[in-house]
Structure 1
Amino acid sequence: MKLDVVLFGQTLDGDVLGRARNVAAASEVFLAIGSTLQVEPAASLCTVAARSGATLVIVNRDPTPYDEDAAFVLREDIETVVPELCAAVRS
């Protein structure tokens, strides 16, 4: 039995990555949560979203290479921020 994950050094499924890029390009808001955004090609989804007009929001304890592209950068614990974001969306 194999987990449905991609480990370092493994290739991403091209169809999955293509769908992810399409979703990022169609997003109004793109959240990058708890990621250093240093592993490609997944990290580049931030650029795809931002260039397509999405509001990029990064929630991460440490700086990322995409902070300058983000409309909002939240340097708080994700256990605190994510429930607050969910509550804000619901109201």
Structure 2
Amino acid sequence: LRWPHIFLTLSPTYMGIAQAAYDFTVAYLRGKIPGIPPVKRRMYPTKQIAVAQMRITLEQTKALWFQAISEAGPNPDKDQVLRAYAAQY
């Protein structure tokens, strides 16, 4: 493949959706969503762990995507193509 990174053009949209979901979750647990009474929902360890896992996954995804995009170019080697495929998944 001469330029296989072209299929990565939609992935920033999905990353934006994932970031928005994380931001909403944090705001919800802090009681900062309009129309919802402020209740301390973040005090439970299960929710803290779930949000931490969301953050870790989001940061891993961003790191992989930025690496794949920085390597984008014609005639990539096999590792670069595999990183691009992984970033798309």
Give the TM-score normalised by structure 2: 0.23
Q: Pick 1 or 2: higher relative contact order, CA cutoff 8 A, min separation 6.
A: 2
- Higher fraction of helix: 2
When Rg is computed on C-alpha atoms for both structures, the one with the higher figure is 2
